[in-house]
Amino acid sequence: MDKFFKLKENGTTVSTEIIAGLTTFFAMSYIIFVNPAILSATGMPSQAVFLATIIATVIGTLVMGLFANVPYAQAPGMGLNAFFTYTVVFALGFSWEQALALVFICGLLNIFITITKIRKSIIKAIPESLQNAISGGIGIFIAYIGVKGANIIQFTSEAANIISINNQQFIADGTYSSIFSVVTNGGIIPALVDFTNPSTQLALIGLVILIILIVLKVKGAILISIILTTIIGIPFNVVDLSNLSISSSGISNAFGDLGITFGAAFGPKGMMSLFSDPSRMPLVIMTIFAFSLSDTFDTIGTFIGTGRRSGIFSEEDQKSLETSTGFKSKMDKALFADAIATSIGAIFGTSNTTTYVESAAGIGAGGRTGLTSVVTALLFLACILITPIAGIVPSAATSPVLIIVGVMMLSSFTKINWENLEEAIPSFFASVFMGLAYSISYGIAAGFITFCLIKLCKGRLNEVHPILIVSTLLFILNFIILAIL
């Protein structure tokens, strides 16, 4: 084991790596509950997503540990799963099967740019300020989803502000049955609820529990808060125990549901229909680009941010990010492992699998090699045994997690020079518009467009990388197409 993982060479021991693996697991295990809660909103079977989440996490993390020999864990990414559900499926109108096909293609694209010098060009194209703004903006978006999921806010719109109901023009004195959507303009007013809803009360209790645990730096705080909030939800009648099963048949049923999502990306409702409408091709391309952009920079940020401080990646490894091709360093291998995991996850039925920044918890505990990742993967594998009870976790228990994870991601804003308006304005639009437009890709578009506009006004458009200019033009073209359609 010492020879395979090079433990002595990296200044670590088996016991240290095991503790680090446990630490990483507890820091990120919330994803097995949160990911199904988000993706099941698209119509995907919740237990199938639960299993797909575990399988993608185990495979991706094992590849990271055994192939790249680095202490990083992978799982379906927060923010990317929200983009999958709320933007790709709900806003852009793709089916969840088509969305899985898009994720699979994104994985192939990431594999391609990892083994070629295209990766170097893409990394250099995006200004560092926008990278930080995108990361912080996703935090805003995730936190906002958590606030909505907790039912803490409500929205009021007077009749004069309603544009349409059920995609039909609204008439103030008209009557509608089976209302499923209401479109209103800027007259909508957000406000706090009156907190009489038991689900909202439970979410607030869960938020208080999580804040206390996080501030006290309790290991596994997120998972503990989910479990405690779920238990408290039983007397609140928010948790339904009527369908709880602890028999092996529950696991069998979950694997039966997995058959619905496994390979769906390639079926008639997935890849086979994705390219059937030529008019949607620009939208398909832009969505793949948005997936790939977020996935790529989440991973690179995690590697560079944690690897530099800990010495996991040497200076040579970091330089190879821009200069090398193939798998000549641990950085190259780690990036390849991340790209592979995305396509594997899509096959089983989950959104982009990415390297988790929570891996920093295990690194902080002393993890330095792939043995840390192997331990984490085995712990996730054991979680399959709790499949029958996964469905009882209410959104009131997971929504506080989204809020706090969003808060954690806001630290990227500290790296932006807000006193420099040339940097601050694009960063503002890239980040804040993710929440206001309820779309990660639209936030990225707003950042790119304002960045290029400012450079154009200053007569310094030549400072903008051609890839960024092309991406901006594609975003504008996408908006024009949506307006025409």
Helices and strands, counts by H and E, the chain = 22, 7
Residue 179 lies in a domain: no
How sure is the predictor about 437, in pLDDT bands with cuts at 50, 70 and 90? confident
Summarised one tens digit per residue, pLDDT across range 249-289 is 567 888 899 999 999 999 999 999 998 888 788 788 878 87
pLDDT band at 447 (very low <50, low <70, confident <90, very high): very high
Is the per-residue pLDDT at 173 higher than 70? no
pLDDT band at 318 (very low <50, low <70, confident <90, very high): low
Percentage of residues in the chain with pLDDT exceeding 90? 34
In-domain check, residue 441: yes
Tell me how far apart the alpha carbons of residues 70 and 359 are, in angstroms, rounded to a whole number.
Answer: 10
Tell me if 404 sits within 8 A of 221, measured CB to CB.
no
Banded model confidence at residue 244, pLDDT cuts 50, 70, 90: low
Q: Per-residue confidence at 375, pLDDT binned at 50, 70, 90? A: very high
- Residue 262 domain-assigned? yes
The verdict on residue 242 lying in a domain is: yes
**C-alpha dihedral (117, 132, 364, 55), degrees to nearest 10:** -60
Top mean pLDDT of 29-43, 124-138, 215-229, 438-452 is at 29-43
Q: What is the mean pLDDT of residues 423-429?
A: 95
Lowest mean pLDDT among 129-133, 144-148, 392-396: 392-396
Residue numbers of the domain that contains 202? 14-152+196-484
Q: 219 lies in a domain?
A: yes
pLDDT grade, residue 167 (50/70/90)?
low
Instruction: For 213, list phi and psi in degrees, rounded to 5.
Output: -65, -40
Task: Give the Cα separation of 430 and 468 in Å (integer).
Answer: 14
pLDDT at residue 60, rounded to an integer: 95
Helix residue spans in 84-234 (DSSP H): 96-114, 118-125, 128-149, 198-215, 221-232
The pLDDT of residue 96 is 97
Average model confidence (pLDDT) across the chain = 83
Those residues with Cβ within 8 angstroms of residue 88's Cβ, 6 or more apart along the chain or in another chain: 94, 99, 102, 287
Does any domain span residue 363?
Answer: yes
Asked if residue 272 belongs to a domain, the reply is yes
Reply yes or no on whether the pLDDT at 239 is more than 70.
yes
- Specify the number of domains making up the chain: 1
The three state secondary structure string of 444-464 is HHHHHHHHHHHHHHCCCHHHC
- Average pLDDT on 357-381 reads 89
pLDDT for residue 55: 95
In a domain, 279, yes or no: yes
The mean pLDDT value for 156-171 works out to 66
Q: Look at phi and psi of residue 185 and say left if phi exceeds 0, alpha if psi is from -120 to 50, else beta.
A: beta
Q: Is the pLDDT of residue 297 over 60?
A: yes
| pLDDT score recorded for residue 59 | 96
State mean pLDDT over 353-376. 88
